[in-house]
Amino acid sequence: MVKKIYTVLIFLLTFALSFSSNIKNVRFNSFPTQVVFDLDETKPIYISEYDETSRTLFVEVGGVTDHYDKKVTNKLPKYVESIQEYKYDGSHGFFLKLQKNIFHKVSIRKNPNRLVIDLSKSRNIKQYTVVIDPGHGGKDSGAIGIKNVKEKDIVLNIGKYLRDELKEDFNVVMTRDRDEFISLTNRSRIANKKGADIFVSIHANSSNQSSHNGMEIFYFSKKSSPYAASVARYENSFGEKYGENTSSIVQIAGEIAYNKNQEKSIPFASNLTKNLSKTMGMRNRGIHGANFAVLRGVNCPGILIEVGFIKSPKDYSIINSRSHQKKMAKNIAEHIRNYFY
């Protein structure tokens, strides 16, 4: 059957693979279950074919760089019985024998370029991964607001409601789903390990002036206004407070990916803050670029939402209300769906 599949594809390969990408690396994700081929910056083109009788999925991409680790096929992911690889003239093929009753979806993802094989026991394979990051947690309470309400509790509630709104359509990963301390470094690592397609960090702002109110959204930028820089310093200071050197969190994405991530993050943040502030009846404080440590470390488009000022009587009555938290989460979820679909 492998020979049959290969024969059918030879004609297509002659035309397609001369324009395809090189494989830089092959890796496996456990949640969601994926086989991921990291590709170079050229136009990603691939060919795939599946034979139900033998349960064999054939995937062929361009060449292989010197950095490709062939030992990866000795570490099989869940749902895969075996992997065979063949190097052709100018291209590289993989034969994956899947377990019984396993469904697959092959797709190209960008920023960075990669070919992803999603594997699941369900026909409804979710294509995109959303990482939700409720700020602070555990020993780190974040800002303390009116009636001693803690930032960590408000943002965790919103994060859980957002997860519930998205889980039917997306692979949703939370950096924390309970009251526990997660370092800024580990939040970034979770997102990158899970192959995040978008990263949403949720926070509440704080000011000694109770007249300050409204919501605002930040994206990662190496340059920022004095105000945005002060907010980033404030949030980064919590990492420093608990023994983390936030300046050591390196920018993962290369310069091209950094620019592309900004191109995607900025319009998403702009549309969201306009609509969300109107829906919630809150002041729109706009969007800002700033050097947030948690955004610096993720290798995908990302935003940090300051949902309101925790010491503002006006904002407190909204962001501390369960019904308003659900309403806020629903609106954010709608924008995430529009972002992908």
What is the tens place of the pLDDT at every residue in 63-107?
A: 655 545 555 555 778 899 988 888 777 777 889 999 999 999 998
For residues 198 and 130, give the distance between their C-alpha atoms in angstroms, rounded to a whole number: 5
Residue 245: what pLDDT? 72
**Structure-block tokens of residue 40:** 């170079």
Residue 10: what pLDDT? 42
What letter would DSSP give residue 107? E
For the chain of 341 residues, list the mean pLDDT of each consecutive stretch of 10. Answer: 46 43 79 84 79 92 58 72 80 89 88 85 87 97 96 98 95 97 94 93 92 95 91 84 72 75 94 97 97 91 97 97 98 95 79
What letter would DSSP give residue 299? S
Residue 173: what pLDDT? 96
Give the HSE-up count for residue 267: Cα atoms under 13 Å, Cβ half-sphere. Answer: 7
All structural domains of the chain: 2-120 (2.60.40.3500), 129-340 (3.40.630.40)
pLDDT tens column, 170-213? 999 999 999 999 999 999 999 998 989 999 999 999 988 888 99
Residue 76: what pLDDT? 79
Q: What is the C-alpha R_g of the chain?
A: 22
Hey, is 171 helix, strand or coil?
A: strand
**Structure-block tokens of residue 137:** 């947690």
For residues 58 and 250, give the distance between their C-alpha atoms in angstroms, rounded to a whole number: 37
Residues facing residue 80 across a β-bridge = 98
Report field, pTM of the whole predicted structure over 0.85: no
For residues 129 and 220, give the distance between their C-alpha atoms in angstroms, rounded to a whole number: 19
